[in-house]
Amino acid sequence: MARIVSLLTMLACWQAGAGIAGPRLLPAPMAVGAAMLAEARSGALFANLGATLARVIAAFVIAMAIGSALGLWMGRSRLADRLADPWLVVLLNLPALVIIVLAYIWGGLTETAAIAAVALNKLPSATVTLREGARALDPKLDDLAHVFSFSRATWLRHVAAPQLAPYFAAAARAGLSLVWKIVLVVELIGRPNGVGFEIGSAFQLFDVTRILAYSLAFVAVMLAIEIFLVQPFEQHAARWRPSSSRRQN
């Protein structure tokens, strides 16, 4: 209920702002909705959303998989931490734009270069978050695993993964929003389709309506992912916690 009131207030502010600024600078919500509908009818909206979403998923999966493995390794082994930490610091502080431009120069204006550039931007923060998780693993449960000779797979699945789940969810949530923003930049610079490409061409024409139509459509897609994938994952991972300590929604 509170969320709906908040959302309606946002729309009302937008409508009021549109009245003051005029339709060229800030078109009204209805105008943006109509533009979205028109793009949807022509099929262009879904084609571009699909292209962007595919890049987001590919880059996200690669970054999370490598980042989690690397973070776990660095959190568990002091030597690994010392070896990989300087690389991580460099990558963390390299501006996204530099990585993207270099990826396109070295890899050409290809899909591979685009996805690699996005994944590389997300990789260090996922690694850092999972490394924190790995450092916080309970040594008493490791003793248990040792005494009862748990296999490596059993340890990972039944001892480590449940403890890492909150860190993984945090990295996933921060990662999704970061990845899709960087995907737009990658598309703007060197891809012939996708939401970023459309926003780029709308920018050439100062077409604010189309910019808002495309960005809001994609925000809706990401919101759906958060609600239907990330939150259920968190709830599943926290199912063992006594219900009193669970967050009330």
Which residues would be at the binding site for another protein (CB under 8 A)? 140-141, 143-144, 146-150, 154, 158-159, 162, 240-242
Query: In angstroms, what is the minimal distance from the CB of 140 to another protein?
Result: 6
Nearer to another protein, 6 or 151 (CB): 151
Nearer to another protein, 147 or 205 (CB): 147
Burial readout 75-91 (b: 16 or more C-beta within 10 A, e: otherwise): beeeeebeebeeebeeb
Nearer to another protein, 41 or 236 (CB): 236
Joined together, the tokens standing for residue 38 give 């028109």
Q: Which of 18, 48, 53 is nearest to 223 (CA)?
A: 53
Query: In angstroms, what is the minimal distance from the CB of 163 to another protein?
Result: 8
Residue 158 DSSP symbol: I
Nearer to another protein, 96 or 170 (CB): 170
Query: In angstroms, what is the minimal distance from the CB of 242 to another protein?
Result: 5
Query: In angstroms, what is the minimal distance from the CB of 164 to another protein?
Result: 11
